[in-house]
């Protein structure tokens, strides 16, 4: 049996929302905090040691359009370049019911329940599995208790509307705080380990 750790990362507001009331493209509450030193240190923390990246379709299309050019951009922040290089080169599993071609190199499309696919990934291969900011994948994995480490960036704003990360009906679970850092704007980088 493989011992791959399943990680997930997401930025959320104080009221637990991962985007604003304007929908998935509304990052008004979260945007001001993603380029802080604390956020960029968290960005490096999430991918180091991960050998598989799991994405939902929306994030795959957005991420794979935005990040790869930064991999070779000498003017980009070193944290951003490191993540961009990792994302370009790593194995990517992309959940989609609509795409016919995977966006980006080293990518494969999957049209199956996330818990089944991630449980299979966990049993095979080496290195950690990182679910990159994809709430559509993180939520069913939380419901199936398949996440071992949760990286949260909590920003000091209340979005006031839209979907929340922690829906009612999740199984009761216990977590241990493994890392905590607060930035100058009041943003917090938190890492929680699932206590099993």
Q: How confident is the model at residue 17 (pLDDT cuts 50, 70, 90)?
A: very high
- Is the Cβ–Cβ distance between 41 and 184 less than 8 Å? no
Cα 151 from Cα 138, distance rounded (Å) = 11
Structure confidence at residue 113 (pLDDT): 97
Mean pLDDT of 51-78: 90
pLDDT at 48 over 90: yes
Structure confidence at residue 156 (pLDDT): 97
Instruction: Give me the residue label for tokens 């980088």.
Output: 189
- Is the Cβ–Cβ distance between 35 and 168 less than 8 Å? no
Q: How would DSSP label each residue in 94-137?
A: EE-SS-SS-SSTTEEEE-S-HHHHHHHHHHSSSSEEEEES-HHH
Q: Which of 33, 19, 15 is nearest to 182 (CA)?
A: 33
**In the chain, helix, strand, coil percent, each to 5?**
30, 25, 40
Mean pLDDT of 27-50: 95
Select 6-194's CATH number: 3.40.5.50, 3.40.430.10, 3.20.20.70, 3.90.1010.10: 3.40.430.10
Q: Which residues pair with 8 in a beta bridge?
A: 131, 150
Mean pLDDT of 6-28: 94
Structure confidence at residue 89 (pLDDT): 94
pTM: 0.94
Structure confidence at residue 1 (pLDDT): 52
Q: How would DSSP label each residue in 32-77?
A: GGTTSHHHHHHHHHHHTTEEEEEEEHHHHHHHHHHSGGGGG-TTS-
Tell me the per-residue pLDDT of 136-192, one tens digit each, with 9 for 90 and over: 999 999 999 999 999 999 999 999 888 999 999 999 999 999 999 999 999 999 999
Mean pLDDT of 22-26: 88
Tell me the per-residue pLDDT of 68-116, one tens digit each, with 9 for 90 and over: 888 889 999 999 999 999 999 999 999 999 999 988 889 999 999 999 9
Q: Can you give the residue ranges of every domain in the chain?
A: 6-194
Structure confidence at residue 105 (pLDDT): 87
């Amino acid at each position: 049996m493989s011992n791959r750790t399943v990680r997930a990362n997401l930025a959320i507001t104080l009221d637990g929302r991962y985007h604003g009331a304007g929908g998935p493209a509304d990052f008004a509450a979260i945007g001001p905090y993603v380029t802080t030193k604390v956020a960029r240190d968290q960005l490096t923390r999430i991918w180091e040691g991960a050998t598989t990246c799991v994405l939902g379709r929306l994030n795959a299309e957005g991420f794979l359009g935005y990040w790869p050019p930064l991999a070779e951009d000498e003017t980009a922040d070193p944290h951003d370049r490191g993540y961009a290089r990792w994302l370009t080169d790593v194995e990517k599993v992309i959940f989609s019911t609509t795409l016919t071609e995977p966006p980006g190199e080293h990518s494969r499309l999957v049209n199956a329940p996330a818990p089944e696919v991630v449980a299979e990934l966990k049993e095979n291969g080496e290195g950690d599995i990182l679910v990159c900011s994809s709430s559509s994948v993180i939520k069913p994995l939380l419901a199936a208790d398949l996440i071992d480490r949760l990286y949260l960036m909590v920003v000091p704003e209340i979005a006031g509307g839209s979907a929340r990360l922690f829906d009612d009906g999740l199984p009761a679970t216990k977590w241990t705080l493994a890392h905590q850092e607060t930035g100058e704007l009041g943003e917090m980088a938190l890492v929680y380990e699932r206590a099993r």
